[in-house]
Amino acid sequence: MKRQRRTLENKLVTIRIIDKVGPVLILLGLFGVMSVLYPGFLSVSNLSTIGVQAATRAILALGITVVIISGGIDLSVGTVMSASMVTMGVFTLYLKVNMVIGILVAISMGTFAGIVNGLMISHGRLPPFIATLGMLGIAQGAALVMSKGYSMYGFPESFQFIAAGEFAGIPIPIFAVAAATLLVYCVLYETKTGRYAFAIGGNEEAARRVGISTKRYKVSFYAISGCFAGIASVVLSSRINSAHPGIGFGYELDAIAAAVIGGNSLRGGKGSVPGSVIGALIMATIRYSLNILGISSFWQQLVLGIVLVVVVYFDQMRAMRLPE
């Protein structure tokens, strides 16, 4: 009996180690395969490009990590990002407000959408899937209405520094991701809000019985996700030097896949902040690799859909083999 118990404990330890280092091994494996298929793939220029492209996905994934840990899901982050950048465009290009104010407006727009999501779920008792799917459509429609379906151009040249600028040879978006990672890490592991996110995701009924205001904190979790969608809109808008009403559609899948690849369980209660960033790097690497290999965008969608299904499948397998 003792031998069987020891064997089981060793197996569980091995599984947990694999779960922690798995995302890093996947990323290194992708780099290895691509360096063979495309010599020069590991150049500083390519890696820098991947890092910049991963920045938007990483920021979205960090926001959605808080929601997933709390046992929820947010399908709206992509279109909320679109609505936020279009709102920024309306204020700065049409209403002629200062660019800094426009950036704050974009972040506020994302936060507001997140609060609405949280209220629909906590007070309206809508399932997170339905509430955020509805917000996906609302945000997409709002972006199209405000922009009349057209991309918006004319941001100040200085605005491009957010995505194109460098400090000590490192692109500014990478610093933005580092700051966002540190912020989310501190929120989750150093604040009451973070501890309650794990508690609610692990067992919401138990959390409610010990006096945690689950409704109030759920609103705050979705507000964080929306806020990070607003921040991501600023970074992406700076990179493309425009506000596009439809560009965010599909980013929610990358963000969810990145979070799950990074070790965040869709069942809630467990998660990894650095893992979400590594997951975003993996998703960006896959997209970049498919592009430089000349794979059609149609096939890219097929591949990325398969990746998402496989990621969720392994998350379910991981949940079954690890005891609570």
Any domain includes 257: yes
Question: Can you give the pLDDT at residue 320?
Answer: 62
Average pLDDT over residues 28-52: 89
Any domain includes 18: no
User: Domain range holding 200?
Assistant: 42-321
Average pLDDT over residues 118-144: 96
pTM, two decimal places = 0.91
pLDDT at 146 over 60: yes
Q: What is the band of 66 on the pLDDT scale with cuts at 50, 70, 90?
A: very high
Question: Can you give the pLDDT at residue 115?
Answer: 97
Any domain includes 271: yes
pLDDT at 133 over 60: yes
- Overall number of domains in the chain: 1
Q: What is the band of 269 on the pLDDT scale with cuts at 50, 70, 90?
A: confident
Question: Can you give the pLDDT at residue 264?
Answer: 87
Average pLDDT over residues 272-279: 92
Phi-psi region of 203 (alpha: psi -120 to 50; beta: other; left: phi over 0): beta
Among 248, 260, 52, which Cα is nearest to 162's?
52
**CATH number assigned to the domain comprising residue 177:** 1.10.3470
Any domain includes 210: yes
Let me know if 202 is exposed, middle or buried by CB neighbors in 10 A (0-12, 13-18, 19+): middle
Higher-confidence position of 49 and 15: 49
pLDDT at 145 over 70: yes
Any domain includes 6: no
pLDDT at 40 over 90: no
Average pLDDT over residues 275-285: 92
Which of 159-163, 253-257, 279-283, 319-323 shows the lowest per-residue confidence on average (mean pLDDT)? 319-323
Any domain includes 33: no
Any domain includes 36: no
Per residue in 159-172, pLDDT tens? 999 998 988 888 99
Q: What is the band of 242 on the pLDDT scale with cuts at 50, 70, 90?
A: very high
Any domain includes 273: yes
Per residue in 11-32, pLDDT tens? 555 556 666 677 888 889 989 9
Q: What is the band of 318 on the pLDDT scale with cuts at 50, 70, 90?
A: low
Helical residues (DSSP H) of 165-296, grouped into ranges: 172-190, 192-202, 204-209, 214-240, 251-261, 273-292
Average pLDDT over residues 71-85: 96
DSSP state string for 122-177: HTS---HHHHHHHHHHHHHHHHHHHHTTS-B----GGGGHHHH-EETTEEHHHHHH
Higher-confidence position of 324 and 221: 221
